[in-house]
Chains A and B, each alone.
Chain A
Amino acid sequence: MSTHLAAGSTRPTMPDELLRLDGVAMHYGKGETSVMALSGIDLTVSRGELVAIMGASGSGKSTLLTIAGGLTQPTSGEVVIEGQWLSDLPSAQIAVLRRRTLGFVFQDFNLIPTLTALENVTLPLELDGWPRRKTRTAGLDALAAVGLKDRAQRFPDDLSGGQQQRVAIARAIVGTRRLILADEPTGALDSATGEGVLRMLRDRVDAGAGGILVTHDARHAAWADRIVFLRDGRIVDEHVRDHPESLLAGRRTT
């Protein structure tokens, strides 16, 4: 659970820890007109763990995600990805780390329409200079993991919304990437399709990835191991799932 240490403190790195935020704060603007978007955020994500971030609009959910992904630099505090302090790294190296370790999934899929599903998935590997054959194998593996190997040569327009989002998840986990950062990934999908995407995300995390799921929907957040609640840029509550199956007595022996 969250321990409130001062910004810049160095908590020990746990062996399974993928991501850690230490006393992260974000202010926009300076002086009297400065707006606080995040304050005192301590958060860790380990392998095999899905953390949901909930909160009203403007509570700082999406800002938190872009900071966790190294897209935005916090005003203060530390972001540590697999033991590397982002503040120690030059921006070129942060870009490499992002490419190799992190995968983003957005509400509107963000696939490139002129590339096939496979090309979309392998793009980060190509940018990283992987050899062609290895890239292709990794891309097909990632598509297989989301049940879309047979759609590898399709273009995004030929795929349903749910399939496009699964391609985006494949892109987020391709190669060595193991931290999935998802911002309302089911927002554009109907309820049943959205559930399929969450199931896929859950499966990838159970297979050893780590994930952050930003959502305003309690039913989606319930897929996570931990739900962190933001209000006005601060974590107001955080709880871990425990004692499952305790609610429904006597079920499923058939």
Chain B
Amino acid sequence: MSVRQSLLAILNQGPCYGYQLRTEFDRRTGSIWPLNVGQIYNTLDRLERDGLVAKGDTDDHGHVYYQITDAGHTEVTSWLSSPVVRSAAARDELAIKLAIAVTLPGVDISEVIQVQRRGSLRTLQDLTKTKNASGEPESAGDLAWQLVVDSLIFAAEAEVRWLDHSEARLARASAAGLMAPMQLKLEPPKRGRPVRAAADNDAQVAGSR
């Protein structure tokens, strides 16, 4: 998870104590995903357990400093040099909603899409306004914040484009008479793995030998 690696990358700059890490994370990510101190300490505990950081000195104020280990340093290098892979199967709330809605009787799917588009456009407007109010970046921190806002803007735009695309696709499907809602199946669902998936798996295993 990126919080873990982010904290590690910050610790790679020098020993830090918990609250300090929180501040560093905030100012390097535009304070858009604030972390609570509890999350920081949980993460530090796990990093320590995995041998990536070690507990170091305690200062006069009682701050416990954490220090990165060689294994931690390697982990940071590897994080920065490899892509972030998002799981294709990560749940997307909106995609699930639309998928379910299209199977239900009595749901006006174009209205569902339009309501969502309105919401997504509003998000996009708010983000754009926020970004425009900020002016030119004056520091690396400003730049980090703008990168994050841009990322949110592009994500919102992608959502709107996907909605446009879905609307056009549904219009074609409707014209082709494919929009009949699914009925509940009355026979009890079979337990265990679906037969076809199992067969596919077997074929794969056989093929890989």
A249 and B127 within 8 A (CB): no
Q: Which residues of B contact A217 (CB under 8 A)?
A: 157
Q: Decide yes or no whether B50 CB sits under 8 A from chain A.
A: no
A239 and B118 within 8 A (CB): yes
CB distance from B34 to the nearest CB of A (A): 7
CB distance from B123 to the nearest CB of A (A): 7
Q: Which residues of A contact B160 (CB under 8 A)?
A: 218
Q: Decide yes or no whether A127 CB sits under 8 A from chain B.
A: no
Query: How many A-B Cβ pairs are below 8 Å?
Result: 79
Q: Which residues of A contact B127 (CB under 8 A)?
A: 222, 247-248
B126's partner among A202, A243, A249 (CB-CB below 8 A) is: A243
CA–CA, A222 to B120, complex, Å? 10
CA–CA, A94 to B152, complex, Å? 44
Q: Decide yes or no whether A29 CB sits under 8 A from chain B.
A: no
Binds A, one of B52-60, B141-149, B174-182: B141-149
Q: Which residue of A lies closest to B122 (CB)?
A: A239
Contact A56:B168 (CB < 8 A) given known A241-B125, A251-B31? yes
Q: Which residues of A contact B34 (CB under 8 A)?
A: 249-250
Which residues in window 111-140 of B have CB below 8 A to A? 114, 117-118, 120-130, 132-134, 139
Interface readout for A198-234 with B: 1 if CB under 8 Å, 0 if not? 0100100000000000000111011110010100000
Q: Which residue of B lies closest to A252 (CB)?
A: B134
Q: Decide yes or no whether A32 CB sits under 8 A from chain B.
A: no
Q: Decide yes or no whether A150 CB sits under 8 A from chain B.
A: no
CB distance from A214 to the nearest CB of B (A): 15
CA–CA, A247 to B129, complex, Å? 11
Q: Which residues of B contact A219 (CB under 8 A)?
A: 124, 128, 153-154, 157
B117 and A237 within 8 A (CB): yes
CA–CA, A237 to B125, complex, Å? 15
CA–CA, A219 to B159, complex, Å? 11
Q: Which residues of B contact A249 (CB under 8 A)?
A: 31-32, 34
CA–CA, A169 to B127, complex, Å? 25
Q: Decide yes or no whether A88 CB sits under 8 A from chain B.
A: no
Q: Which residues of A contact B129 (CB under 8 A)?
A: 241, 244-245
CB distance from A30 to the nearest CB of B (A): 27
Q: Decide yes or no whether A114 CB sits under 8 A from chain B.
A: no
Most buried by B among A224, A227, A248, A254: A248
CA–CA, A252 to B31, complex, Å? 9
CA–CA, A244 to B34, complex, Å? 20
Interface readout for B159-189 with A: 1 if CB under 8 Å, 0 if not? 0110010001000000000000000000000
What are 24 residue pairs bridging A and B, where the CB atoms are less than 8 Å apart in the complex?
A: A217-B157, A218-B120, A218-B156, A218-B157, A218-B161, A221-B121, A222-B153, A229-B114, A237-B114, A237-B117, A239-B121, A241-B122, A241-B126, A241-B129, A244-B130, A244-B133, A247-B126, A248-B127, A248-B130, A249-B31, A252-B134, A252-B145, A254-B139, A254-B142
Binding site for B on A (CB under 8 A): 56, 199, 202, 217-219, 221-224, 227, 229, 236-237, 239, 241, 243-252, 254
